[in-house]
Amino acid sequence: MLWVSNPSEFADKLQNINLKFILLVIGLYFANVFTKAYRWYLLVNSTGVRVPFKKTFPFFIIGLAFNNVTPGKIGGEPIRAYLLKKDADVPVGQGLASILTEKIMDIIVIATMAIIGAAFILPLLSAGEAKILIILLIFVISVITATLIILSHAGIFARIVNALVKFSAKRPNNKFVSKWTSALVGFVDKFKLGISKIFEAKRTAGGCIVLTVIIWINEALRLYIIFWAMPGVSGTSLGAVFIAASIANILGIVMPLGSGNIFGIGAVFIALGMEPSSASLAGFLHAATSVWISIPMGVGAMLITGYKGPENSNGDKNQDNSNKKSIKS
């Protein structure tokens, strides 16, 4: 994106941004992080466990940092579930149920934003460009729908585990297969319990959906304000902002460290006729005021909680207990 946008022109515009608007964007990002953490706290506690916010908040920050540096944004999810299990004695299945529900809510709102944005932006495109955008949206929505169907049915996991149980029953002397089959059975039971509890807590689920809408409107608003901060940019389409914010978050899943934000936002606005240097700068500022901030936040949360990663499986029980006390302290 820098190559396309002329590095010297990019640097010149970067030097002339309005820092007051950028500080506002950073403030909105911190508000969004808090909102996301509070939403997860509500979901965790709706799975049938009780964990205080002061515990879930640093776990969320650590998971967020790992998500932003790993392809697929999957690095932070098992860490969140691990920390819940280790420090709050929440079964991994129930922890992952809260995380999965959070992701489903995000995907639904992001897809809705993309559709709303398309309704505003289609009249601005040529027939060929509009056709490409419609095909892209149909593809994305189809993938999202298929993913939601699979992930929201815990019975699929149960059938897989039942098949493994039958397989292990034929090999009674294989301790490894028996051990992991037993663990999977326990995981699926807790996962199904967590999902059912979340669905039963309708008021909490409804509140979390409202928070999800607020979270992603905040994301679009942050990008909109970034354009206010940039020199020589005016009349930015709100529909284009919705589309760009949605695509940036979708690409962020496979392109870590903010590269998805930079490429997604830059590509959308270049396609709409914006100067490449301005389009690329918008993506750069979006990553700099969100993804890149989350990494030092995660490091700080790790230092505060004492989390250093899963213990060596060869460590003795006394060392494990000592580490637990360290995290709690």
| List of residues 6+ apart from 161 with CB closer than 8 A | 181, 184, 185, 188
pLDDT in tens, 125-179: 778 777 777 777 777 677 667 766 655 565 555 565 566 566 656 655 555 555 6
Neighbours of 24 (CB within 10 A): 18
Q: Give dist(CA 283, CA 305) in Å, integer.
A: 32
- Per-residue pLDDT tens for 181-228? 666 666 666 777 777 787 788 889 899 999 999 999 999 999 999 999
Q: Which band of pLDDT confidence, cut at 50, 70 and 90, is reported for residue 326? A: very low
What's the predicted TM-score (pTM) here?
0.80
